[in-house]
A and B are shown apart, each in its own frame.
Chain A
Amino acid sequence: MADSGASPAVSLDSNKGWNRSNSGFVLLVGAVSILIASPWILPEFMQTILIRACLYAVVAITVDLLWGYTGILTFGQAAFFGIGAYATGLVFTHIGFSPTMALFALLAGIAVSMLIASLVGILSFYPGATPLYATVLSLVLPIVVTQVIFSGGTFTGSSSGLTGYESFNLSIAGWLWLCGGFLLMCTVLARRFVQSDTGRLLIAIRENESRCDYLGINTSRIKILLLVCLSAVSSVAGFLYACYGMVVAPEMAGFQFGTEILIWVALGGRGTILGPVIGTLLIDVSSAYLSGDFPFVWKLFLGLSFVIVIVVMPKGLLPAFIQLVRRGKFTPGPSQQGRLQVAGERRLDGLASQGNLALSVKGVQRRFGSLRVLKDVNFVARHGELLSLVGPNGAGKTTLMRCISDGRERSDGEIFLNDHPIGKLSPFECVKLGIGRKFQTANVFHDLTVFDALAVARTRLDRPSVWERTRVISLPLPAMSIVQTTGLDALLQMPCRLLSHGQKQALELAMVLALEPNILLLDEPTAGLTKPERTEIGRTLTKLAEEHKMCVVLIEHDLDFVCDISSRVIVLHQGEIVLDGSVDEVVHSELVRDIYSGSFGMPEDPADNVKEAS
């Protein structure tokens, strides 16, 4: 099988001279210098505005991470900001002020926020939840928090809020350094985070969550963790806000504030971290100056810009600006260099270890209301087989494939992967049982590069770093050979969307193989491929079945292709298996000819058909 230890590494160096880390460093030094000098160069009024704006910008960063990077539209970060602020106000008002109390307030706010965030996360991000539901919940959260504050009567101050409590006695310059420093720190950490493996993973989830599910990634857990951590950050910003302003009011937790943050992030540039920060600072400072004198016109202008940006320039103003500056030069993704190597041979452990039967389908049914798409499907498949599923359109092939890879899909019956029942397991859990599924339409990640896509595919097996960006990914031999034979190894820096159709198909196959599955499901792998590409993929699949002993199941319409490579063929018609046998048997079957020419008889007499159980 694979040569263990040998590493025919394919490396790609893209040295860029004045590269990103240099310019980032200069920016950082510049920002720090401005911050330190600001009490002397900025007018006092602007300093007071900036103190608040810096804290708002921290919350904007959390929203950008959730929305810009992970695709979760959230109105709810304001709620955590408010919780942090109110924890502080309540502690200082009802208990008293002291450094110990301040620490207590800070920790209490963080604890409550994280608790609520986990509840909201579990509610919003369950497997199968729609993005709309998550957004709706994120809108409900600040409303509930505000109303809870209102219902607190004199304890929470209700409509008045809490004021007049004692707090730290810093000068305005002191507060500016503190809050500005906090913002800088959060920005730097966030930038580092989004350029790490995990940052890339978040983008993958945003681009194609379904694909991530089928790569064995527990997207729900990642989203919940992200929300919980970011809620803590917002809470800290709220704490600082309450300490500075010495006032906490219900509007701080309200959804109007939540939508304002979204506006700053959208205008600044979602998915850039820097865009929202600059956007928030600029807009907030401008609002302070302009909304005194031209309150309506300014807000109207903001509203108009917001709508225009969403409709016409969804990426926001900063990226548009940068593109203008760079004059539209093609800028590759965050990864600078990438290298592939062959993974050491891994013993498939646990659930995915080769079972007696690779795949076992018993009495599977799939109903949609009164429509039965699959009726009592039974078959088994072994490792080393190359099984083709054929049948006319509407026979239920893709539905069957869906049932095999997703435990929640079928209405009845049992499915075993490597002798383990899949019960009601979701796709990412089925991947753990050893299955990999390639979709009909090339299902890769729009904005990520080829290298990134492969790295994401390795997430389940090679834990991604929260800090670093791994520059070397290990691919198992089957995946590596696909990458090499299709020439993808020379295109590691290319964004997926620029690949040709055939290259996308190859990439997706490589990604699925990177999971190291021993059962492979492929839905029309030759669709849209040229003749040489088809021959190539046929050779690959045969090799996977014979040499690597995988169980390969594919859905195909190209009957010549099927005859060329399959070891066994199953014919599906109107939800039932009508034939299960060797290529010869199927080719010479009258039944199959009738089915495909449409002259097949009534569905009510399946007993007349030859149905060979294997």
Chain B
Amino acid sequence: MSMLFDILSTSGILFIVSCGLLLIFGVMKIINFAHGGFMTLGGYVPLLITQMDWNPWLSLPLAFVMGLAFGAIVEVLIVKPLHSRPLDAILATWGLGIIIGQIITLIFGRGVQFAQSPLEGTVSLAGTDYSLYRLALVGFALVIGLSIGAILNGTRLGLITRAVTMNESLARALGVNSALVRLSSFAIGAGLACLAGTLITPLSSLDPNMGVPWLTNAFMLAMISGTSLVSLAIACTVLGAAQVLVSVYVSPILGSLTIVVLGALALRIRPQGFARG
């Protein structure tokens, strides 16, 4: 039973971490290697909030807005000039991740720190005790997923974003401002990354490089999902389950490899990802 909760919460966490990357990958077809850096940035927001004695729940919107702002700046300065050089965009965003890490170190110090969880304690469900916060994250994943879905399907920005995702040149020929779409997608993706960082730090610890281990899992999931949020949710559930099962029955170390290895193999079979249609 506890295993089921593990799977659910792991899938939820993976979804929260990857959705921002998926948005950027779907629209711009590049992988934002600064994703880890944005997550780290978001992770330090609760620390700031605690230092300033504000309500810990404030860190969520604050992180998102911060991510939006930084994401927009990065898109204009770094990503746009590299439009035609996707491999170089990967490198440049990785470099950006390094810069973010160093700036954080300069401000907060390089040591490991800890953030308080806004939701303490356990909850008794179906016979076992389980961490309340982990379960809450599943809820967050649903809320975030549904919100993005609502924006994509219900707003004009969402509509032109989907158009650019499917066929950018055609969309531009029809008068869509693809530069605006790219800017907004990157900014929102960065915002989601920061939000993800804020949400996951209470689970473990905080240091200038905490986002990096999530990066590989996130982009593997994003690449498998192609361009669809639903695919992402499915991928997170399937691969999240695989990770938990391997971690428990084989070893936690090989478990952490399951997503990247299975992802690489899946992409070999179906290079364009598993999005339907």
Point out residues on A near B: beta carbons under 8 Å: 73, 123, 126, 128-133, 135-137, 139-140, 143-144, 147, 150-151, 255-256, 259, 262-263, 266, 295-297, 299-300, 302-304, 306-307, 310-311, 314
Contact = CB atoms under 8 A, between A and B. Distances in A.
Given A143-B257, A147-B254, A310-B92, 12 more contacts: A123-B264, A129-B271, A130-B271, A132-B31, A136-B219, A136-B264, A140-B220, A151-B251, A151-B254, A299-B98, A311-B88, A314-B88
Nearest to A131: B87
B260 interface: yes
Contact of A139 (B216, B256, B261, B267): B216
B105 A296 contact: yes
A613 to B, nearest CB: 37
Nearest to B93: A307
Interface string B146-173: 0000000000000000000000000000
A122 to B, nearest CB: 10
B78 A307 contact: yes
B227 to A, nearest CB: 15
Interface in B77-95: 77-78, 81-82, 85-88, 90-92, 94-95
Contacts of A139: 216
B123 interface: no
A133 B99 contact: no
Contacts of A256: 212
B275 interface: no
B98 A311 contact: no
Contacts of B105: 296
B19 to A, nearest CB: 19
Given A133-B267, A144-B260, A266 B216 contact: no
Nearest to B77: A311
A307 B96 contact: yes
B102 A300 contact: yes
Given A136-B219, A151-B253, A307-B78, A314 B99 contact: no
Contacts of A263: 95
Contacts of A299: 98, 102
Contacts of B256: 147
B174 interface: no
B248 to A, nearest CB: 15
Interface string B225-258: 0000000000000000000000000010110110
Interface string B5-33: 00000000000000000000000000100
Contacts of A147: 253-254, 256-257
Given A136-B223, A143-B260, A306 B271 contact: no
B103 interface: yes
A272 to B, nearest CB: 17
A135 B87 contact: yes
B96 to A, nearest CB: 6
Contact of A123 (B86, B90, B254, B268): B268
Contacts of A135: 87, 90
Contacts of A255: 216
15 contacts: A132-B31, A133-B271, A135-B87, A135-B90, A136-B264, A140-B220, A143-B260, A151-B251, A303-B98, A303-B99, A306-B95, A307-B99, A310-B92, A311-B82, A314-B88
Contact of A307 (B95, B216, B251, B253): B95
